[in-house]
Structure 1
Amino acid sequence: MIVPAAVSAKHAFVRPYVDEVGKRVRDIVTGFSEAKGYPFLGRAKSLNSLAEKLETGRYGQWSQLDDLYACAIIVPTLSQEPEVLEFLRTRFIEVECRLRASSMKDPEVFRFDSTRFIGALREENEMPSSISGIRFDVQIRTAFEHAWSVTTHALSYKGGNVGWKHRRVAAQLRAAVEQLDQVVLGYQEWADIIREQSWPIVDEQLRISERFRSWVATGLIPSEVQPESWVRFSENFRALVAASMQRDQEVGHSKNVDIALEAVGRCLEGSDRGYPMSLSLYQYSLGALCESRVVASVNRRYSPMVTSEMETLFPTIRALKCKPFDFES
């Protein structure tokens, strides 16, 4: 595209200062986003994009431009947005904050509407005055909003597709994104109204989780030993049962799960030395199942993680017929 010489000259003049602002903003924000596990994106506005923005007629002077450097923090759900805003307000000067859903919008219209924090760098020692006044834009997007943006926004808004049908599809997808974000925000409330149906594997994992958590509540298992995720632990415990015990044709592994839980319970209750803090809950469970002779072998597709600490505390595990996880290869 043809860019007016005045725009090109101004862009070339301010670009080094914008890049410096972007570097400082990135250094500050990425430390926060990486600690939280939030993806971060940032870029300086290109010459062509700047020219197109000025041609909208919405800006009366250069100082009104607020996204010469723009970045985005991607949060899992809407519930994380307040903590991001709190961080931005403590580290930068807040020029303006345009919260999502703060503007008037036809209820039948669906468009991009994420929260935008317009900020400026706080004045520090040796900060050039040429960068202290440059504004930057931080968008706070949910994961669903970001997916919509990168897959459809460029096609329907910045690409060559001007037609009604293209914008219709983009709006329909945006409506779906908005609904998904609301469902995630009210996850528990939505789950409460769903009619529950039985599924043996899920039922078994639920019993596993409830039994182990009850042992934590009564002190048989120290709270420090709790797994990062009870969902993953219950899946792993049931997988161990399925890999080491004969499946019943009628009830599957339901009885086996109960047998395994009873064996672990007896081991916990019968121990006079307390829970060994050198073992994870999975390791202790495997050792208890071997010690009680409930598990003697596992199938070839399953590789249990057997360590020297386990063999010391549960010597019978040395007789387990298996192909253990190989730490060396």
Structure 2
Amino acid sequence: MRIGIIGAGALGGTFAALLHQAGHDVEVTARGASLAAIRDGGIQLTGGYGDVHARVEASELLTRRPDLVLVCTKAQDAEAAITANAEVIDGATVVVVQNGLDGVDTAAKLLPRSSCLGLLSIIAANHTEPGSVRVTSTAESFLGRGDGPPDDESRRIAEVLSEAVPVAAIGGFRGAQWTKLVVNMVNAVPAIVGRSVQEALSNRLLRRVITASMRETVRIGIARGIRFGSLQGLDDRRLRRFARMPLWIGQRLPRTLFAYLGSVPNLGSTQQSVRRGQPTEIDFLNGAVVRQAEAIGSDAPVNRALVQLVHEVEREGFLPVERVVAVLRN
């Protein structure tokens, strides 16, 4: 199959290398140093899926009409990237591989002739050097759209992607997106203090803030009428129980995420953007919680404060632990 991958960062690079290894005709988009590195030496994948050296076609924009497109840019770049490639990809099946809640709707709006699906990936990977990706933790990914059961196209595309990594077609995709959003609340705090996710979760004070942001996310989801999907050991029943817990007891939930992170230090996607000097997707993670709260006339003060701190880090560099801990005192 001819597959176009828009964005060859951590996840885009992982899928590109493994789909190429599976025998698919892969073309990726990249820019600047990443584009030069891929053109010169291909994509070097190491870690959880083994060592793969993939020589793939690379350009700033896709040059050939694909059968399947994976949009793997950061959430804040998706609209511009899809628009720039629309002439080539409109009409193809498009899979949005992104954090946040808006990716599939954005793609469907911009590509009226395409069938658009979403993919929730729990794969943890570090992309700190152009053309190089290290997978620190492998996991099954989940494909779907909307609130209903998985359709035939979701199952077909899941089978294709499973030739590279395990992918399951699921129902209740919107609820699973919210569960992934809860999991993604581990991103902001490590990015603010410049520590790995594992280090942040090991620190009692930082873990309290992470727990508070997760609990706030669940409470807003419940207020929005969301039924959370099953993902990474979490489900609707467990998250609703977590939302009622005192903070000190609720810390058990983020601690269980250790089992999925592995032993290799994981920086989280937000911190990786900071270290590359690029804008983060914080407005589509913690910021999404803030917007969802505003939509029902409520507030999400913990997540609002974390968004502000991450933007401060983007401008000025990492902050001391005390600045994060103060979030719970305000």
Higher helix share: 1
- Of Structure 1 and Structure 2, which has the larger fraction of its residues in strand? 2
Shared topology, TM-score over 0.5? no
Higher Rg:
1
Coarse TM-score class (shorter-chain normalised): under 0.3
Higher RCO (CA-CA < 8 Å; seq separation 6+): 2
